[in-house]
């Protein structure tokens, strides 16, 4: 599958920044629509920055049109929303679902998004149940190709400090040989590279990728 144009949501995040890096290096990708709330910091001949209002449903449809693939790496933390679960849901569920729904309405066949290991709508954890809920809701849309990536602890340097995540990274990195492969920490760049590779040869239907599939 060859690309002329792709769309990327979440380019300023950890995985998203690596996605952008690999898409920029890819000679088969001619245009990258980088969607953001405010002007994007990086300018490049292949980048078309589109600033949108994420509460405006029509804006999702307008910015993904003619895309050969849509990449989504969007998420927040409880700290960023001051512990407000409603605000958290607006980002981790509503935005992702609205992107997927816009893909369905505009006949965009190829959607790839980041979820989390352990995602399960029946989980007792708010975080994992919400991740499971968005997966279930997107699956119902029945896009031609939906690829879901479920990393465990992500390795890499974030722009913002996440103290507990840093501890988890350190512990899991040093215990990696003892951890079943599915639960092993994974470098964010590997996740991003896997997303780009799989986008070019996606499996039909709704498919979930864990550690072993991402490091191939």
Q: What is the DSSP string of 98-141?
A: HHHHHHHHTT--EEEEE--TT--TT-SSHHHHHHHHHHHHHHHH
Catalytic residue among 131, 145, 209, 211: 131
Residue 160 neighbours by CB distance under 10 Å: 9
141: left (phi over 0), alpha (psi -120 to 50) or beta: alpha
> Residue 124: phi, psi to the nearest 5?
-75, -25
Q: Is 173 a catalytic residue?
A: no
How far apart CA 55 and CA 42 sit, in angstroms, is 24
Catalytic residue among 46, 127, 193, 200: 127
Q: Is 131 a catalytic residue?
A: yes
Catalytically annotated residues: 127, 131
């Amino acid at each position: 599958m060859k690309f002329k144009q792709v769309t990327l949501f979440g380019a300023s995040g950890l995985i998203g920044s690596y996605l952008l890096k690999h898409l920029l290096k890819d000679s088969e990708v001619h245009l990258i629509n980088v969607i953001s709330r405010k002007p994007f910091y990086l300018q490049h001949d292949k980048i078309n920055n589109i600033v949108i209002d994420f509460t405006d449903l029509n804006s999702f449809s307008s910015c993904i049109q003619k895309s050969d693939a849509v990449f989504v790496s969007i998420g927040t933390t409880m700290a960023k929303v001051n512990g407000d679960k409603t605000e958290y849901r607006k980002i981790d569920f509503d935005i992702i679902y609205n992107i997927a729904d816009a893909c369905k309405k505009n006949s965009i066949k190829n959607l790839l998004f980041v979820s989390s290991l352990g995602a399960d709508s029946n989980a007792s954890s708010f975080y994992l149940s919400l991740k499971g809920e968005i997966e279930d809701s997107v699956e119902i849309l029945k896009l031609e190709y939906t690829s879901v990536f479920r990393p465990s602890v992500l390795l890499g340097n974030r722009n913002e400090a996440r103290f507990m995540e840093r501890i988890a990274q350190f512990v899991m990195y040093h215990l990696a040989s003892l951890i079943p492969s599915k639960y092993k920490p994974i470098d964010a760049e590997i996740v991003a590279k896997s997303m780009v590779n799989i986008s070019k040869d996606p499996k039909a239907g709704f498919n979930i990728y864990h550690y072993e599939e991402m490091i191939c």
